[in-house]
Amino acid sequence: MAEQQDAAANAADEIELHEGAESAPEVDDSKSAPADRSEAGPFDAAEVPTMRPYVDLGGIKVAPREGLQLRLEVDERANRVVAVSLEYSESLLQVQAFAAPKTTGLWHGVRGELAQQLAAQGATTTEEPGALGIELLAQTPLTAEQGGGTRPVRFIAVDGPRWLLRGVIMGKAATDSEALANVIDLFREIVVVRGESPMPPSELLPLKVPAGVQAAQQPGTTQQA
């Protein structure tokens, strides 16, 4: 699982959301979300009771549950928290939340950008229908030091009100349907705190170390909450 955490941390650095490149083809900008998102999640901060307990990570809140391990991924260059990694059901779910327009979505366009970037890194990708919408399944190449071959990585996302929540799934849930269902359930419990401050589309919502957890002394280390 430590190797998967390293790969997930690298994904936070190497695969970034950004505005479309010049001459980019027109993409579907409709929102991608399950019909019951506001009732079953992932939730906007305005949609959940304030008394429900959550681990407050700033732009993301995570509901605690038995067997869940939470870790923070830190960008070595900026010395800031850039992603939240959740170990659960023999799987790793890395989540990030991004600012988005109020009436349009990002996932359809971002999915195409991810496929292009992954292909440039030697991966093969396929789109699959999932519980939350269209998912992107990638077979990413492993180095000789990692044993060679490929590793499956699944990308999921939901467009919410003024935000996009993206998940990167590794481990058992990348290919096992039962484990995937457990991870999707975990993903749907997440609360996104967009805030009222103006932000350009695709900007990462700021994350923070939760109260009671000491911040990393050295940039790039992984902290468990």
Is 220 a member of any domain? Answer: no
Listed in sequence order, the residues at least 6 apart from 65 whose beta carbon sits closer than 8 Å to its beta carbon are 88, 186, 189
Please tell me the predicted confidence (pLDDT) of residue 213: 61
Could you write out the three-class secondary structure of the chain?
A: CHHHHHHHHHHHHHCCCCCCCCCCCCCCCCCCCCCCHHHHCCEEHHHCCCCCCCEECECEEECCCCCCEEEEEEECCCCEEEEEEEEECCEEEEEEEEECCCCCCCHHHHHHHHHHHHHHCCCEEEEEECCCCEEEEEEEECCHHHCCCEEEEEEEEEEECCEEEEEEEEEHHHCCHHHHHHHHHHHHCCEECCCCCCCCCCCECCECCCCCCCCCCCCCCCEEC
Pairing of strands 43-44, 191-192: parallel
Decide if 82 contacts 74 (C-beta within 8 A).
yes
The pairing of beta strand 163-171 with beta strand 91-99: antiparallel
Q: In this structure, is residue 31 part of a structural domain? A: no
Supply the CATH number for residue 169's domain.
3.40.1000
Q: What is the pLDDT along the chain (225 residues), one digit of tens a residue?
A: 655 555 544 544 455 555 444 445 677 899 999 999 999 999 999 999 777 889 999 999 999 999 999 999 999 888 899 999 999 999 999 999 999 999 999 999 999 999 999 999 999 999 999 999 999 999 999 988 888 899 999 999 999 999 999 999 999 999 999 999 999 999 999 999 999 999 999 999 999 988 766 444 333 444 443
Domain that holds residue 50: 2-16+36-208
Domain membership flag for residue 222: no
In a domain, 45, yes or no: yes
Distance in angstroms (rounded) separating the CA atoms of residues 162 and 154: 24
What total number of domains does the chain contain? Answer: 1
Structure tokens at 51: 């008394």
In a domain, residue 118? The reply is yes
β-strand 55-56 against 60-62: which pairing, if any?
antiparallel
Q: Between the CA of residue 184 and those of 101, 136, 169, what are the distances in Å?
A: 24, 14, 10
Evaluate whether residue 218 is within a structural domain: no
Is 21 a domain residue? Answer: no
Is residue 55 within 8 Å of 210, Cβ to Cβ?
A: yes
The answer as to whether 93 is a domain residue is yes
Cα 7 versus chain centre, distance: 13
CA distance 50 to 168: 28
